[in-house]
Amino acid sequence: MTKYEYDIFLSHSEQDEDLIARIHNSLLKLGLEVYVEEYESTYGEDLVDCVCDAIEKSNYFLVVLTDKSIKSQWVNQEIGYAFALEKDIIPVRVGEIQHTGMISNIKSVKAKANDYESIITEILYHFADLEDITEFSYECDKCDEDDMWSLPDESDLKQWVKRKEPFKLECTCGYANKLNPRTLESIK
């Protein structure tokens, strides 16, 4: 299996800055590595090279379709490049947006416009169901100890599953390691 540097490349319009920041933070909390050009590139870098390289190094291509992004030349070029690389493309249609380009026939995640919670919830539900999106190590991220977990009790687990957020498993060293929904089954 190919190991990617990023779980997700997040394609979007810079004009949707607040929405993208919220999506980005929510995906990070799920324990995913997410590429957002504004956060990753540095001054003086060739943006075309950076973006193309990041798409190549990402497992999934998530494109947030809003009234602004469907008019963006950058977003449409990123979609074309992801298609050329045969990436798994996940469109997120915000509101009644219709895209007539290459992704018009791809099943999309649908979310209500102007409701950030709805948009983020739909995206998180989608990624929580993907088996290959994250990997879990039995080693503590801080001290590298194996199998040193304080497992959560059943009531905590039920709340965690409802929220679709990472659960923190505490190592005996005191460090809280993140556990995503898909990896719970592997340690039970």
Domain boundaries, the chain: 6-128, 149-187
CA angle 130, 135, 136 (to 5 degrees): 125
Structural class in CATH, domain 6-128 = alpha beta
Cβ–Cβ < 8 Å for 183, 134: yes
Q: How far is CA 178 from CA 28, 58, 65, in A?
A: 11, 21, 30
Q: How many CB atoms lie within 10 A of CB 153?
A: 8
Q: pTM to 2 decimals?
A: 0.67
- CB 37 within 8 Å of CB 51: yes
Q: What is the pLDDT along the chain (188 residues), one digit of tens a residue?
A: 456 788 899 999 999 999 999 889 888 877 788 999 988 877 888 889 999 999 999 999 999 999 999 999 999 999 999 999 999 899 998 888 877 778 888 888 888 888 777 777 777 777 665 545 544 444 676 776 655 555 555 566 555 555 555 666 677 777 776 665 544 544 44
Looking at residue 184, its amino acid is L
Q: How far apart are CA 124 and CA 23, in angstroms?
A: 9
